[in-house]
Structure 1
Amino acid sequence: MAPSIVVNSAGITKDNFILKMDERAFNHVIDVNLKGTFLIMQNAAAAMLDAEVKRGSIVNMASIVGKVGNIGQCNYAASKAGVEALTKTAAKEFARYNIRCNAILPGFVETPMTDKIPDKVKTKLQGLIPQARFGDPREVAEVALFLASEKSSYVTGACIEVTGGMGM
């Protein structure tokens, strides 16, 4: 049985400054974050078509970092910007098959990925966020739930920021 909903949440970091980033670390992040998203999306859409799913929804996890950049994260930023562009392209290609494709651009959210950030840096980052805090994973999940549901049946190609206002 093919899925009618896919939430594609691949994401790793291997941070370093551009001048110190080795090609292997750069490629690994691109392979997981962008190529992984592409492969899951491609296979999910093909399975939906084969199973003649009436309405499908693919939700990709991008990042606000893909839109605004972040020091030491050239590979991550590039990969997540790519996810945003890939999502919009897929939305245009898949619409004729009633498969919607959208993306979520989380800001800083309390996850194992952000647990690695030193407290001093977290405090500084929170100062850049109008809501002055990191998000809760459930806040991102609620947006994913909306995008996966029929409540968003006329939403495709959207890239929704869940950032506490960061980046505006």
Structure 2
Amino acid sequence: MELLDAYSDKIKEMSMLSLICSCFYSQPHPNSLAQYGDMEVKSLNKRASGQAFEVILKAPADLSPDRPQPLLSPPKKDLSMEELQKRLEAAEERRKSQEALVLKQLAEKREHERDVLHKALEENNNFSRMAEEKLNYKMEVNRENREAHLNALKHRLREKEMHAAEVRRNKELQADLSG
């Protein structure tokens, strides 16, 4: 685990410019071996997927004493009760501030959801109203069509009755004339 931590620390310390520049060159750089403190980087043969490197970490015993050691966190000093109380209060303030921010975001989200719901209900009501108007229109057209059909049937019936009455009258006249 220490080796992994040392590796990640060294990667952070490595010059980003040199790392990026090495990725842009398609040919291996004449200095294919680079040293960064307790880390050694060797360029490997170019792969189809791009440049490849081998990173070798030196053991802590390999480090020379004149090299600066990685910075360690300063030793923790004992805090007074007042300092602890101030830190607790500051942490509580940050928590309250964060809580207020989250509550505000939730309120805004609820407001947005309410607006969306209101708009959806409004659109639903408009759709229902339009559907009802179309249905009423179709029912009115059907009623008018039925009335027109009935009127046409009544008119044909009257014509047939008039024709039948005329035929009866003609038969009566023929019967009176012949007999």
Q: Is TM (by shorter chain) over 0.5?
A: no
* TM-score normalised according to structure 1 size: 0.21
State the structure with bigger RCO (CA 8 A, min sep 6), 1 or 2. Answer: 1
- Richer in strand (by share): 1
- Richer in helix (by share): 2
* TM-score normalised according to structure 2 size: 0.20
